[in-house]
Amino acid sequence: MKLCFNEATTLENSNLIKDLEYCNKHGYDYIEIRTMDKLPEYLENHSIDDLATFFKTNHIKPLALNALVFFNNRSEEEYKGIIEEFKGMLETAQKIGAQYIVAVPLVTEQKILKNEIKDSCVKVLNELSKMAEPFGIKIAVEFVGHPQCTVNTFEQAYDIVQTVDRDNVGLVFDCFHFHAMGSNLEEFRKADINKIFIVHIDDTEDFPIGFLTDEDRVWPGLGAIDLDGIFSILKEKGYDDAVSVELFRPEYYKLDAEQAIKTAKDTTIKAVSKHYSYEGKESFSL
């Protein structure tokens, strides 16, 4: 298993250049690049070619562009914008060597029937899949464990990607989102592990289902999520791809960025090493 850093963890106390420097220094294998803020800020003074060169000459590599947001149940005009945004992300991902584009379902206060949500997700993901195929890029759908997200449980998200049934469409399994809306561990045990593209590791304070928000996240192993249950299933089913640490904790944004990046690595290793052995700075192994 490889160690990855999601840039949300230093959203307010770092930028892409610093994240890359510190993650490379502390032995991360991958990074998930935030396309909503940190990448545009980087491109104010640098080019995509500069970024590609960095990855070619350093240990750390780009895992994913994060994210194409709110892709389903949009108006026709909004949908055209989603398609244009995705085209640009595909070109960027190909240039820098990223494997995945993370796609996040719509978050809204509007009530939408579940069959309408599924139909829209399946239709859009099929089109995105066909667009991504020539680029060799995969789409990782991230359900969000909040009542206002249109796809907010593992079971719902897994049903959607199974219905799409395309090799380049799978899931982000985020431990926080899995826990936050009470997704079922036994349903996860039944799932095809090949449909789990990325694992986000995090933890959270022990609030009731439906009340948790991203700011409740804490370092892996310091909260209420059954990480042992999740990672025992991942190991049992043979998952050996990236584990990416992703937090949105306001207190952690007050830390020095390098300290936060190192702490994220140390706590992740401690939590994951109960199930995967850690061999030096470069990777976990079964």
Q: Tell the residue number behind the tokens 């003074």, with chain if given.
A: 45
What pLDDT is attached to residue 36? Answer: 97
- Hey, is 80 helix, strand or coil? helix
The structure tokens listed for 52 are: 């590609």
Decide if 72 contacts 118 (C-beta within 8 A): no
The pTM of the full predicted model, rounded to 2 decimals, is 0.96
> What are the per-10-residue average pLDDT scores of the chain (286 residues)?
96 98 97 98 98 98 98 98 98 98 98 98 98 98 98 98 98 98 97 98 97 97 98 96 97 98 97 80 45
For residue 150, what is the DSSP state? S
